[in-house]
Amino acid sequence: MKKVIGLMIGVLFLLSMSGCDDAYVASQNISKEADNFRIYRRVVFYNGITDEYILKIEGYCSVEFYVDKFVVTVKTEDGRFLKHYLGRADNVFPFVEQLEAKYVSDKRYKVTFKPTAIIPDIEIR
């Protein structure tokens, strides 16, 4: 009985993994690259009532969407970071455009380990 249950769990796992098509894997890998500041983007906040741009940000940036705000973090050329916030409104629409093509795998997921996550920053006094 345990073998049958184990086999069924294995088959269900394989079936759930087969639902991940190439486009989904590539999309996840592009998002991971963008969150690591490796994708050049243009982020535009557009006012639908006045037909004008409120804010335009261009560069290597990561975008986060929350219920009440948008957060854009930009990495500058000298390695520093800027963080921009814009509150949500009924008439403001954000557009995020990728300006450069980036090669990412569509066959397997990319996993990124940051050294600070594995080896903690220890301060000796």
Question: In this predicted model, what pLDDT tens digit does every residue of 16-43 receive, in sequence order?
Answer: 555 567 778 778 878 888 888 888 999 9
| Tokens found for residue 30 | 């592009």
The average pLDDT across 109-117 equals: 65
Three-state DSSP state, 59 = strand
Query: For residue 66, is pLDDT > 60?
Result: yes
pTM: predicted TM-score of the whole model, two decimal places:
0.65
High-pLDDT (> 90) share of the chain, %: 20
Query: Which string of b and e fits 76-89 if b means at least 16 CB within 10 Å?
Result: eeeeeeeeeebeee
| Tokens found for residue 25 | 């894997």
Residue of 112 and 77 predicted with greater confidence: 77
- Rounded (5°) CA angle 97-112-28: 40
Query: For residue 51, is pLDDT > 60?
Result: yes
Three-state DSSP state, 105 = coil
> CA-to-CA distance for 100 and 89, rounded, in angstroms?
29
Query: For residue 14, is pLDDT > 60?
Result: no
The average pLDDT across 1-27 equals: 62
Residue of 119 and 28 predicted with greater confidence: 28
Q: At which residue do the structure tokens 């998002």 appear?
A: 31
Domain ranges of the chain: 20-118
